[in-house]
Structure 1
Amino acid sequence: MSVTAQALAPPVDEETPAESPAAQRRGADLLQRFGGRVLALAAFLTLWWAVTAAGLIQPLFLPSPAAVWHAFVQANTWHPIAPGVDRLVQGEQGYFLWEHLLASCQRIGAGVGAAIVVGPLLGFAMGMWRPLNRIIEPYLNFLRALPPLGYIGLLIVWFGIGDTSKIWLLFLAAFPAITIATVSGVHAVPRDHINAVRSLGANRRQVLTHVVLPSTAPEVLTGIRIAVGFAWTTVVAAELNNGIPGIGGLAYLSGTQLNTPLTIACIIVIGITALLLDALIKWIGLLAVPWKGKS
């Protein structure tokens, strides 16, 4: 065959290279973890259904999965106020369940958002100036050790039963964790790194922006992640009084009314939302501080 003919001949398809063993192992591990979690969830639901179907526990204390699902659906739809009555009501307590969840998220966003602004600022000041740290740290640890129910009554006296007291409670729940994490991050900055940039002629501002801030950012994000989780554990306490709309207030009110299916539905929604928020913060952390763990 001539050279021209060889050039005009169609190219021979080459075999696609096989996937690397490391990639195959990662895919298998991911599939194994996902499958294990699905099987664990299925086993839990099956056991829950079996216990309630056998009547081992009264429905007042542990309703069936179907009853919880029915309460969840009813809380998100218009439904008759009572069997055989034509009058329809909206969700629960005049709001859909997602509206209760949104109201709680707005309160947490305001309280934790303020803590995210104030906490790192105070934490950097305490970390960079030792005398300030010695003065404020005992009070900060005292506040961190207090349970939210210990001072919710005082906040209601100061700010009333509206959203202001709730936002303050969530702020106080999140603020210590973020501040302490920031202080720890500043103190953990290697002294050799600071001395190295100073020897190259960097001033105090450059040391702060190019060494201290990047080194402390992972700790700040860890503190924010912990603070958001703690704020979610505080949401029911924050909404004990005048907490409607609010997912925590709905969970508390439905419990006092012995509406156990709705209480469990609210608990599940609170837990799933907390997991999603934690995953979101973790993802934001990977984008914001990609150097974490690579030093």
Structure 2
Amino acid sequence: MSLPSTRCRSARTAIAHAAALLAAGAFAAPVLAQSQDQAGNNAAQQAEGLQVVTVTAQKRPQAMQDVPVAVSTVDERAIENQQIVGFSDLTRVAPALTINENPNNNNIALRGIGTFAFSIGIESAVSVIIDDVPVIQQLQAFSNLSDIARVEVLRGPQGTLFGKNSSAGVINIVTKESSEEQEGHAQVTVTSDGERRLETGISGPIGDKLGYRLNAYTGNREGEITNLDTGADLNGERSRGARLRLDFKPTTSLDGRLIADYNKRASKAR
């Protein structure tokens, strides 16, 4: 007598489960479609906002995510927005970079590793490269950061591509190329601590296959330390310089550049 009632309860249970599954499917379909649409919109927004950062950390243009090197890059926009006008200002955007300035030479360290010596005849463990040309003394890189396209900070040993004096890392500085149209700029900086700086530049094409970029600067910074004996201000500097760059492209597969650079920097050490 109990068997039919058991069968009835089983049938009612199966019908209730089926109804629940149908209701869950009816609610899940719009939710799934909405989530797929939202994922597609997010992907589209990311695709529109994603920018490919090109670096030359391996001696050739590559996307930054494809370079198997610990590298931090500072582009032209970051240099302008954060007012990076001197080499020592890079410490604000590259936390692994440490700079110690002294009258004879400047010491650069990456991740706390560098050559801490005051002699100009000692090679540093951090190499400074400007347009694929290594500078002899690190002090040469501290003169000016004018018309810079980007600065790449490569952490760790880079001796395979940049030589034996890059056992701790490389600071790779890339200047701007000549523009396709005539353009120019000028910038005047005056600070409350006695620094005055003038920077100007001009660029444009000379012909179909030749372009130029010329920039110059002059700066004067009063020292923040006063000699009580003589009354002179210490730890200041005077600097000036100019750079001329010629870019030529004789064919579609061949291009080259010729750069002439002049810098003079005098520190007020006494």
TM-score range, shorter chain: under 0.3
> TM (normalized to structure 1)?
0.21
Q: Give the helix-richer structure, 1 or 2.
A: 1
Larger radius of gyration: 2
Which of structures 1 and 2 has the larger relative contact order (alpha carbons within 8 angstroms, sep 6+)?
1
> TM (normalized to structure 2)?
0.23
